[in-house]
Structure 1
Amino acid sequence: MQSNFHGNLMSKLLTNEADQNLQQVLVLMNELSQWLIRSGVGYTEFTAALKPIFFQQAVHELERIDQKPTISAISLLSGLHRKDVTAYKEVISEGKALKDATVSEPISVPSRVIGLWLAEGWGDSLPFSSESENSFEMLVKRISTERHPRSVLNELIRLEIATEKDGQVYLQQRRFIPDPSQLEARKILTRNVQAHLEAGLHNLLNPDEMPYLEQAICADELTEESINKLHEMSLELWQKYSLQLLKLAAERCEMDEGNPEANRVFRFGVYQHDTKIKL
């Protein structure tokens, strides 16, 4: 009886911890989902893209606890369907990338409409509707009968992929050419946020190891004037101390050049942010 009680208690504690961690991750997802939705990535596309990531992390966790990465074990840890896990394991055994696995994927109607438009070679413009010639409405219905053509067009207009004037839909070809500066800015943001999360999670998950510096100063009930003062001072401090750290980093890079053990990357980041207090 005591053993069962202990087991039930442990199960409840683990469930509570998982739920608490999930709630914290969901806080972060507010900003990430905003980024995704503004970019045209919906829930179904995002969850599908998460599948190989959850697969990989489940495998890493099984390796960490020295357990065999069976289909059942990976499925249990990751929450993925067994057939998806099987597909991922098969492509790995064939030396292929996880993206080559045949798993269930969502249908993105707007992107498939554009893909069909380009594949058919119907030029840069189409009438929204027409009884006698190819039209945008016809395109959408060939992809899906469940999505209203007007809703699909509104989404493409929101993403600046298409425009509409006088009943004519125009494809914005320039949107298919990535802006190098924007791509680089996204990569930098991703690397910085990733490093910050890795540092914080290292401190949480490895309390017996040397912690990373991961601190923040927070002050509330401030006026806009005070915010501006703090903003200015933070920039001044960053300019002053970042140069000192950059100088040391350059010296150490030169010193370590050619050393076979020089296989690590160091990142020091600072950010500032302010927002209105939510009542």
Structure 2
Amino acid sequence: DSSLSTLSGVHRKDVRAWRSDGQTGSRSKNLGPVMEVYARWASDPDYCDGPGKPRILDRAGAPVSFEELALSVSKDVHPRTLLQELLRLGVVRQVDSQGKGEKLELCADAFVPKKGSAEMLQLLADNVGDHIATVVNNLQGHEPMLEQAVFADELSAESAEALGALARQIWSNAFREIMREGTKLSRSDQGDPNADQRVRFGMYYYRGRVTKP
């Protein structure tokens, strides 16, 4: 049940009901606890060093471990199940422990599942869908939402690559800051009957050859 719950985003109790009664629960539109474990590991000061780089964590036993992190996110899905899914997606890897117990490391700057996976397609649909919804909201004259871009052309390949590196650094800093604040606010809003809002904050960088008429 834990594995099925992690993959689907459906609560484990609903998975049990589905298996018992043959009924489907409402499928979550996100990757649930798997993505939350990744996000907290990548941004929470408890799991990062001074400069904000995610720490290498002991799998279990240490005061700050993957098991402790996973349980802080969900007590309904076993830490082993969450770890197996993160390893399968390719965003966490096991590192040489040198006889000091199993250690784990984030191996991606962003939650980007393996190429061609169902999870990658789901993220694409979610991100593009909300981007389009933002554009439509602004076109319809509702309260404006942030939707901006910068364009430059007549650049060399080296200059485009340098701007790409800068964009990734800006994203890394923005990701950590908004995740820290988002985690804090999410915790403070738990149990609030008026907490019915969701947000998505993203960034993209594209480079390509100029199309000449």
Fold shared per TM-score above 0.5: no
Give TM-score scaled by structure 1 length. Answer: 0.34
Select the structure of larger CA radius of gyration. 1
Could you say which structure has the higher helix fraction? 1
TM-score, normalized by length of structure 2? 0.45
